[in-house]
Amino acid sequence: MSAGAQPCGARRARWQETPPLVVARMPCARPAGHGGPHEDALGQEWTELPQDLVDAVAVTCAVYQVREAFAAEDEGAAR
């Protein structure tokens, strides 16, 4: 990055954070407007996933848990 270029500054989504959290919240150090994945000062990369995909996965996980709960209830025992 050149001396005059501004960094991207994007941060990982909360659900993408990994321990240690201080490192996981480091902003992207690549130049603003870059292509490809974001990269922090330690070289860790991440990509922004489309919100529709994140929502679809969350709904799928919730549906699975609800099905499991009802299946356990139908069997007469809580899981």
Q: What's the whole-number average pLDDT of the chain?
A: 84
Query: How many domains does one find in the chain?
Result: 2
| Same-domain status, 14 and 29 | yes
| Same-domain status, 18 and 39 | yes
Q: For 10-29, how does the pLDDT look when each residue is reduced to its tens digit (9 = 90+)?
A: 998 887 777 777 777 889 99
Least-confidence region, from 4-8, 58-62, 67-71, 74-78: 74-78
Q: Are 52 and 14 in contact (CB under 8 A)?
A: no
User: The domain containing residue 38 runs over which residues?
Assistant: 1-47
What the block records as the tokens of 38 is: 């974001």
| Same-domain status, 41 and 53 | no
| Same-domain status, 30 and 55 | no
With a cut of 90, say whether residue 2 has pLDDT above it. no
Give bridge partners of residue 31 from the DSSP assignment.
Answer: 7
Q: Which amino acid is at 32?
A: A
| Same-domain status, 39 and 28 | yes
| Same-domain status, 43 and 68 | no
Q: Are 28 and 9 in contact (CB under 8 A)?
A: yes
| Same-domain status, 19 and 42 | yes
pLDDT > 90: percent of the chain = 44
